[in-house]
Amino acid sequence: MKLVHLIHLCLSYDMKASDIDTIRVGFQEWVVEYEKIFYQCDPERISTCPVTVHSLLHVANGIETAGPVWAYWSFVMERYCGFLKRDGVRNRRKPYASLDNRVRHVAQLNTTKIRYHLVDLLSLKAPDNEGEVFPEHPRRIFMRPRKTLKLEEDVRTVLVKALITRYSPLQGRKISAFDARKCIPTEAVLQWGRVQIPEGGDRMCCHKMIKPVSGL
């Protein structure tokens, strides 16, 4: 919980000088406590002290030097590099000139969309598919693509094990493998590519139906 609190401070958009002092002292105390619990001054337990733990001691200095963490978060930069690399490097002899052209074209397109109010019209993203809500699953929105799927025996076996684990004696309910198998439909079922939680919640993608997209 202490670590989560410090990380939230590091990711905050508004930061005071006193917050940096809190981050510095907080990480120092956290690392000392971590080493007492896991390292225990035992050389045989040195593997519990990776460089990532030590790097926490330098976070406050990095914020003082380069600004808030959100301004140079590696996840955002890696996504942007992937966005440039995917369609930007088309000339292997002159890769940097090719990257420059990619950045310029994207900037020109964004400027045109904003200046002439064409953000929606010139959007290159595919429109979201309308989802369906079923009475038995009111807190889920099922979204396309979808396809009919026949449950093979290996999939049915996995589902049986999942039902047995879900309805365990520890929860006051018990289901046998025989009863669990009867709950699984024998006919074909619909497989949905996306499931979203209503009211702006997370959207989860089916790994085998949605191809991962790198970059922005």
**pLDDT tens for each residue of 159-194:** 888 888 877 665 566 788 888 888 888 888 888 888
Tell whether 123 is covered by a domain: no
In a domain, 212, yes or no: no
Residue 214 predicted with pLDDT over 50: no
Query: Which residue's structure tokens are 């699984």?
Result: 184
Q: Give the pLDDT confidence score for residue 18 in this predicted structure.
A: 92
| 22 occurs within a structural domain | yes
| Strand, helix or coil for residue 43 | helix
Inter-CA distances, 39 with 13, 29, 48, Å: 34, 15, 6
Q: 143 pairs with which residues across the strands? A: 194
Same domain, yes or no, for 140 and 188? yes
Q: Note whether 80 and 215 are within 8 A (CB).
A: yes
pTM score, two decimals? Answer: 0.42
- Name the domain boundary from 115, 142, 176: 115
Distance CA(191)–CA(68), nearest Å, equals: 43
Overall number of domains in the chain: 3
Mean pLDDT of the chain: 84
- What is the domain extent for residue 88? 74-115
Amino acid at 2: K
CA–CA gap between residue 137 and residue 135 (Å, rounded): 5
**Residue 95 confidence (pLDDT):** 84
15 and 35, same structural domain? yes
- Band of residue 57 on the pLDDT scale cut at 50, 70, 90: very high
| Position with higher pLDDT, 180 vs 75 | 180
How much is the average pLDDT of 61-70?
Answer: 87
Residues 169 and 195 in one domain: yes
Q: Are residues 19 and 58 in the same domain?
A: yes
**Together in a domain, 26 and 37:** yes
- To the nearest whole percent, how much of the chain has pLDDT over 90? 26
10 Å CB burial of residue 35 (0-12, 13-18, 19+) is middle
What does the alpha-carbon distance between residue 205 and residue 86 come to, in Å, rounded to a whole number? 22
| pLDDT category of residue 212 using cuts at 50, 70 and 90 | low
Residue 6 near residue 24, CB atoms below 8 Å: no
Q: How far apart are CA 159 and CA 163, in angstroms?
A: 6
Flag whether 141 is in a domain. yes
| Residue 119 φ/ψ, nearest 5 degrees | -60, -45
Look at residue 211 in the predicted model and tell me its pLDDT: 64
- What one-letter code names the amino acid at 203? R
**Domain for residue 211, yes or no?**
no
- pLDDT tens-place string over residues 108-145: 988 999 999 888 787 766 665 568 888 888 888 998 88
Residue 13: inside a domain: yes
Is 60 within the bounds of a domain? yes
The answer on 147 and 88 residing in a single domain is: no
Tokens standing for 138? Answer: 């009111």
Q: Write phi, then psi, for 134 (nearest 5 degrees).
A: -105, 145
Percent of the chain, pLDDT > 70?
90
Q: Is residue 38 part of a domain?
A: yes
- Model confidence over 135-154: pLDDT tens digits? 888 888 998 888 888 888 88
Is there a single domain that holds both residue 55 and residue 88? no
**38 and 27, same domain (yes or no):** yes
Give the pLDDT score at 215.
Answer: 40
